[in-house]
Amino acid sequence: MNFEELLEQAIQRVTPSRTRDAMEYSLMSGGKRLRPMFLYDTLAGYGLNPERGNEFAIALELIQTYSLIHDDLPAMDNDDLRRGKPSCHKQFDEATAILAGDGLLTYAFEVAAESREPADRVVRSIGILSRMAGPSGMVYGQCLDTTEEDQVHGWEDLRKVHRYKTGCLFSAPFMIAAVISGRDDATIEAWHKVGDTIGLAFQVQDDIMDATETAEELGKSNSDARNEKVTSVSLLGMEQAENLMNQLYASSMEQIRQMSEFESDALIRRLEGMQKRRK
C-alpha cells in the first residue's frame, strides 16, 4: 500500500460529516509529502523497514495539512489558493475550515498512538511531535509571523520565525525516526539540527520562488507580497538569498553524511531533488 492509500484509508475512519469532507479535500489535494518521506528515508538509512513509521508518517501529514488550512484563513494569511485549488475556507466556509484543521490536528495523535513500536518509544515520539507542532514549536513560529512581524528587522529575526514556523515540523520526522531506531539523545538532537537547517533552506527557497513565479505556477497565492511581509529576498536581495539557500542545503547534506551508522544516499538524493524544485 502506497502512502496516498494509507492517507485515504486513515481519513475514511473518521465519522462522516461536512468536517470530514473538508479534512479529506485538503489532505488528498496533493502536496510534496516531504515530512513523511523524511521519516521513511531516515528509518531506511538505519536499516529498518520504513513501514514501521507508517502511523507517525500519517500523523505528520495530518498536522501539516491542518497548519496549511489554518494558515490560509482570512485571520492569518488570507490565501484563496492552495495546491492549485481553492483553499479549504473558500471551497467550504471558514467555520468548516477551522473545524477541519482542528480535526486533523487531534486525529494525528490518535493515529500516532496506534504505532506498534515499543511503548516508551511511542510516548517519546508523540512528545516530540507535540512539541515540534505546538506552542513552543510551529505554533510559536506562526505567532511570530502573524502578531510580531513588525519586530522582524534583520536576518536573525527572520531566521527565528522560519526556525519555528517551518523548521520544527521538518525536524520532527528525523527525530522520531531516530527514536524508533533506538538512537541516543545526542543523535536525536543532531537530527533536530538537520531538520532546522533543511527547514530554513526550504523557506528561503519559497521566498525566492514567491518573488519569481506566478500564483498559477506555484499553485498558491503570494500573500507575503500582498501583505508586505519581510522575506529573505526583501532583506538580502535575490543573489544573496540564492547563495544562502544553496549553502543551507549543502550544510544539511554534510550534517547527514556525518551521522554514524547511517546510510545517507537516499536522503541526500531527496534533498538534491528539493534543491532543484520550482514549486
| 236-278 pLDDT tens trace | 999 999 999 999 999 999 999 999 999 999 999 999 999 998 7
- Class of the CATH domain delimited by 3-276: mainly alpha
Q: Tell me the CA distances in angstroms from 99 to 20, 23, 46, 165, 272, one per residue in order.
A: 9, 9, 38, 21, 37
| 197-230 pLDDT tens trace | 999 999 999 999 989 876 666 665 655 555 578 8
Asked if residue 152 has pLDDT above 70, the reply is yes
Alpha carbon distance, N-terminus to C-terminus of the chain? 27
Q: Tell me the CA distances in angstroms from 228 to 80, 150, 153, 155, one per residue in order.
A: 17, 11, 13, 16
| 8-51 pLDDT tens trace | 999 999 999 999 999 999 999 989 999 999 999 999 999 999 99
Average pLDDT for the chain: 94
Domain boundaries, given as residue ranges, for the chain: 3-276
Q: Tell me the CA distances in angstroms from 260 to 181, 184, 239, 241, 267, one per residue in order.
A: 13, 11, 35, 31, 14
Residues 6 or more apart whose CB falls under 8 angstroms from that of 117 comprise 52, 125, 180
For residue 135, the model assigns a pLDDT of 97
Q: Model-level pTM?
A: 0.94
On the CB side of 81, how many CA atoms lie within 13 Å of its CA? 12
